[in-house]
């Protein structure tokens, strides 16, 4: 999956934790993307079975979509905290974590988590 798809899934996950429903407009607002861009992305995610959209336009992550979203969100959280723990300010740590979370390998991320626990 491409980075943009991961970002959409992560956004849907975080929005769904704070709201009883998520719509495309909510995703567009949260990500500061245009409605047509989000609509195209939602169509692709739906076709790839990462989300479902009901008749009211409410978006739900499928099991596979949720698994990806949770993986990316965990990476974001752990990397952000790690960066802040070594003195990086929150805004920079969050922005950097957002980039790193999509390219770090599973093996390296597991090593990072293991090192943090020590």
**Tell me, what's the pLDDT at 90?**
94
Phi, psi of 53 (to 5 degrees): -130, 125
Q: What topology is assigned to 3-67 in CATH? A: Arc Repressor Mutant, subunit A (1.10.10)
Residues facing residue 53 across a β-bridge? 59
**Domain 74-117 carries which CATH code?**
1.10.60
**Tell me, what's the pLDDT at 116?**
82
Show pLDDT as tens, one digit a residue, over the chain (118 residues).
687 889 999 999 999 998 888 999 999 999 999 999 999 999 999 999 999 999 999 999 999 999 999 999 999 999 998 999 999 999 999 999 988 988 999 999 999 888 887 7
- Backbone CA torsion sign across 5, 105, 70, 11: negative
Instruction: Kindly list the domain boundaries of the chain, sorted by start residue.
Output: 3-67, 74-117
**Tell me, what's the pLDDT at 23?**
94
What does the alpha-carbon distance between residue 32 and residue 23 come to, in Å, rounded to a whole number? Answer: 14
pTM greater than 0.75 (yes/no): yes
């Amino acid at each position: 999956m491409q980075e943009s798809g991961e970002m959409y899934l992560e956004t849907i996950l975080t929005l769904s934790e704070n709201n009883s429903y998520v719509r495309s407009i909510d995703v567009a607002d949260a990500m500061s993307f245009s409605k047509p861009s989000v609509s195209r992305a939602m169509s692709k995610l739906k076709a790839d079975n990462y989300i479902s959209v009901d008749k009211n336009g409410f978006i739900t992550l499928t099991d596979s979509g949720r698994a990806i979203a949770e993986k990316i969100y965990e990476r974001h959280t752990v990397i952000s905290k790690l960066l802040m723990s070594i003195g990086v300010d929150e805004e920079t740590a969050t922005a950097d974590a957002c980039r790193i979370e999509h390219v770090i390998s599973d093996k390296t991320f597991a090593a990072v988590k293991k090192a943090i626990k020590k």
